[in-house]
Amino acid sequence: MADEQRSRIRTSTKSSSSIAQIRLVSQHPEVYEPCDDSFALVDALLADRTNILNMRPRFCLEVGSGSGYVTASLAIMLNQDSSVHYFATDINPHAVETTTATLAAHGVHSEIICTDIASGLERHLSGMIDLIVVNPPYVPTPSEEVGCEGITASWAGGEDGRVVIDRILPVVNELLSEKGWLYMVTVTENNPSQICSMMRKMGYESRIVVRRSTAEESLHVIKFWREATGDVKHEGKVSSSSSYSWLPQFPLLSFFRNNGNSS
């Protein structure tokens, strides 16, 4: 990583007591490292932390976990509550390994699956996920770069940077619980207002939680929630041990984890 980027990371992160520690984030040359978009997403979660704590999510999912920085930060924000279960997916097997190492370094237990978006989870977790976080591949690129191997898959978004985003939205709609929230990173080129309109047709309200401009892009972290439930909910917790694995209940997930299937 370049010295300039390391400096930006150091100055962009919050107190190590509230989010993941950069020094504990695992690295791999083919895995996207935490950068401005990652920090914006974590800052959005921090800004909404009180609401998230009051909503009391039971199941959380990160689509495209990369280094594992966001999931680790989310778990720390939620006080590493043992009643919360975390899932993380990535199409890149190196990212699955990196996420595993980062979460282990922070003492966070999660089911980490190598798969395309959330393939294999919809049928088992439909309507159960209370919180989904996504820093999708949003950079406009040639279509042939979308979904390719290695680190390019983390940013290659095809035309208008929307190819993967437009595939993610219906999956989110399938997985989110009635009280569920989605936090997603977009840039101006993605036409965020059109994304919000698409989600509105599926019954979601939205608001921008964080706006951030860098030398390269204008970032928007958007929160979505179902119209009928509102932006803030107060629900009871369901207790469960953090060491419990849901994978034995989901045979397909074990297959993805062990074989790196990216269907």
Q: How confident is the model at residue 164 (pLDDT cuts 50, 70, 90)?
A: very high
CB contact at 8 A, 245 and 111: yes
Question: Tell me: the pLDDT tens digits for 243-263?
Answer: 444 444 444 343 344 444 433
Question: Tell me: the pLDDT tens digits for 30-84?
Answer: 999 999 999 999 999 999 999 999 999 999 999 999 999 999 999 999 999 999 9
Question: Tell me: the pLDDT tens digits for 168-178?
Answer: 999 999 999 99
Q: What pLDDT was estimated at residue 16?
A: 52
| Of the candidates 62, 78, 67, 158, the residue with the CA atom closest to the CA atom of residue 117 | 62
Q: How far is residue 33's CA from residue 201's CA, in Å, rounded to a whole number?
A: 34
Q: What pLDDT was estimated at residue 17?
A: 74
C-alpha R_g of the chain = 17
The better pLDDT of the pair 160, 247 is held by 160
> Over the chain, what is the mean pLDDT?
86
Give the number of other Cβ atoms within 10 Å of residue 4's Cβ.
Answer: 8
Q: How confident is the model at residue 131 (pLDDT cuts 50, 70, 90)?
A: very high
Q: What pLDDT was estimated at residue 262?
A: 38
Q: Up-side HSE of residue 226: CA atoms within 13 Å toward CB? A: 16
Domains, the chain, ordered by start:
35-232+240-259 (3.40.50.150)
- Tokens at 263, concatenated: 């269907």
User: Distance of alpha carbon 43 from its chain centroid, rounded?
Assistant: 13
User: Distance of alpha carbon 253 from its chain centroid, rounded?
Assistant: 18
- pLDDT at 11 > cutoff 90: no
Question: Tell me: the pLDDT tens digits for 209-239?
Answer: 999 998 889 999 999 999 877 675 433 333 3
- The burial of 244, by beta-carbon neighbours within 10 Å (0-12 exposed, 13-18 middle, 19 or more buried), is given as exposed
Question: Residues 103-114: what's their mean pLDDT?
Answer: 96
Q: What pLDDT was estimated at residue 119?
A: 95
